Amino acid sequence: MSVKKKNQIDLLSRFLILAVVCVGFALLRPEAFLSVDNITQVVFQQTPFTILMAFGMSLAIISGGIDISMSSTMVLSSYLSASYFQQGNYFMGLVVAFGVGLGFGLFNGVLISKVKIEPFIATFSVDFMALGLAYVVCNGEYVYGFSDGFRSIVNGYLIPGIPNVALVTFLVFAVLYFLTRRTIYGRTLYSLGHNKKATKLSGMHSDGVILGVYVTNGLLAALTGILYLARLNAADPSIRGTLTNDSIASALIGGIAFCGGTGSVVNTVIGSMIIMFIRNGMNIMGVSTNWQQAVVGFVILFAIVYERVLNNLMAKYAGKGNK
């Protein structure tokens, strides 16, 4: 079986999971779940945030690493930039938000590519640092109340029917898809995920690409933070919530294999949809958010088992085909 075909089957099976989730909830609560309002609400208003964060997680996982510092970076950057946005100083707001994202991204990237610290340990530490700082800066005071102009970057409609937040997400998707599938950067990224040493010894810019991944993640976190400010109309350290868990679960269930080198941002989008529809369905069923967190955990475990089973099945099928 060729790689391409394998990937297609894999992707198709992820669509199937999404379909099963949706059909399941549709059967349980057709009137609430199947309404146009509900579906558009989930797809265009709720999922984009998870998708943006999961993009970053996916890039890190594809490169053979992980980034659990994104949600804290997001919190810190949104909090620090909030007052500028509130005052209408968009320029400074953007500079501060993306500056913080860039800073933490660079820090992660240097720790991982130059100092050679395990990605998980490095980003776990940075996560702790960023969150600690966010609480120091916040000190129990919340910034809230933004102008309608600012809030329209999320709620406005540049294209009728599609909220701006979905538009932004689509643009990011297009850029990342191009970057990862059609450029040297992307080729090196996938090669790194499969085999770091061989990639380095082929003379590819492996350290630079790893640095690039974490910087991209920092910037994505900053972008998500700004969108969150506009959506929630407030800056609050607790918005970090379960975004890290959700984005890992999204990437894995979408088909980004944890060992690295496989999957694309398309998988991430599907994965995020699966997670968000599960959450939405449970909300409709009246299940508490506490249960939802446990379920997301189960999805992570299910995702790795599912991948193993699927690969074994495909290997078996391919073996038979050869004989």
**What do you get for the CA distance between the two ends of the chain, in Å?**
12
Region near another protein per CB under 8 A, out of 9-17, 21-29, 36-44, 303-311: 303-311
Q: Is 292 in the site for another protein (CB under 8 A)?
A: yes
Q: How far is the CB of 146 from another protein (least distance, A)?
A: 25
Binding string, residues 50-69; x marks residues near another protein by CB under 8 A: ----------------x---
Q: Is 259 in the site for another protein (CB under 8 A)?
A: yes
Give the sign of the dihedral formed by CA 186, CA 252, CA 154, CA 174: positive
H/E stretch holding 235 reads: strand 234-235
Instruction: Please list the residues that pair with 143 across neighbouring strands.
Output: 235
Q: Is 248 in the site for another protein (CB under 8 A)?
A: yes
Q: Is 44 in the site for another protein (CB under 8 A)?
A: no
H/E stretch holding 143 reads: strand 143-144
> Do the beta carbons of residue 123 and residue 68 sit within 8 Å?
yes
Cα separation, 103 vs 199, in Å, equals 27
Q: Is 144 in the site for another protein (CB under 8 A)?
A: no
Cα separation, 160 vs 296, in Å, equals 33
Binding string, residues 98-137; x marks residues near another protein by CB under 8 A: -------------x---xxxx-xx--xxx-xx--xx-xx-
Q: How far is CA 16 from the centre of its chain?
A: 21
Region near another protein per CB under 8 A, out of 77-85, 144-152, 163-171, 290-298: 290-298
Give the sign of the dihedral formed by CA 231, CA 232, CA 237, CA 238: negative
Residues of this chain that interact with another protein (CB under 8 A) are: 2-4, 66, 111, 115-118, 120-121, 124-126, 128-129, 132-133, 135-136, 139, 181-185, 187-188, 190-191, 194-195, 197-205, 242, 245, 248-249, 252, 258-259, 261-262, 288, 290-298, 300-301, 304-305, 308
